Structure 1
Amino acid sequence: MSTMRRKHPPLIKVLDDGITKLNEAQKSLLVSSQSFNNASGKLLALDSQLTNDFSEKSSYFQSQVDKIRKEAYAGAAADVVAGPFGLIISYSIAAGVVEGKLIPELKNKLKSVQSFFTTLSNTVKQANKDIDAAKLKLTTEIAAIGEIKTETETTRFYVDYDDLMLSLLKAAAKKMINTCNEYQKRHGKKTLFEVPEV
């Protein structure tokens, strides 16, 4: 065995650091995914509640309509100074404003809020899908770098032996270089190493 064995060759240290960073990134993506899942669940519950509340038959919607009518008709009734004929005119105007303008405006506002939450919910669902895809890709990358690291450590093991192991060293080096080159090609980069003759 060689007495000049290095504790951590630079390539192995780089690979170890890469695996550590990829693991940290994967944990961060998992936390993000869980946060998005929680937000998505809350938005779905809110969307369901809004759908129920904004139905014209819901108690919430009816209470809002009753409030608008009460305020408008109370204002018209306060105008008793004009007499019964004036009261009829005031009620007619109030009814036209309430039924023709205020209630349709309320419906439009409620639909607008519901539409906003539906859009937001769809955005959160898409973000969840994107995060899941990124986690899957990251897992593949961690496995590929782990394989390169293992082959590098195997190569280092053979380096520690004398010339008797030279042929094993060459085969391991060739395999490691091929794996590195395949990794580079998969990422659209040109290969960095040439495979030596064994």
Structure 2
Amino acid sequence: MERERALQLVKKQLTEHRYQHTLGVMETAIILANRYGADEKKAELAAIFHDYAKFRPKEEMKDIIAAKGFPQDLLEYNAELWHAPVGTYLVEKEAGISDRDVLDAIRYHTSGRPGMTLLEKIIYLADYIEPGRHFPGVDDVREMAKESLDKALIKAVQNTIVFLMKKNQMVYPDTFHTYNDLIKNLED
């Protein structure tokens, strides 16, 4: 799917603020894909569609999670996680995208997972560091991303876990497992 068509489809689903975020994620994903040797077109497409389901009604997302074979424990955690797996289903159904690499990058951009692919890492990190993001620690991760994708990703996941803990929110187990897997496999 061409960029302009993809952006048209996504723009209908998002607020203007979230659409601008999506453009930032897209540009960041392309930069990271070029820097680390990923498929630029897949990175672009996954970035464009990563928040496709972000503003779907919670009841619709619950129903999709329950009916389409997603882990049911998702429903016990913050609803912010839901749009990623639900997005994979809706992007395939409504936009006709069937590339498993792209769909998995969308699916795991909020929780991560052990054994993340290069594309999945890029979309997770691009979502975290895109230029419109402003929060403590993001500039450090942006700098790290220039040198090491994995080290930047570790810091991003670590920051996310600490943020959730400070807010007394539960952390989805895959996020902890992602952190542990990245640490275990880090090559210095």
Same fold (TM over 0.5): no
Q: TM-score, normalised by structure 1?
A: 0.27
* Larger RCO of the pair (alpha carbons < 8 Å, separation 6+): 1
Q: TM-score, normalised by structure 2?
A: 0.28
Return the structure number with greater helix share.
1
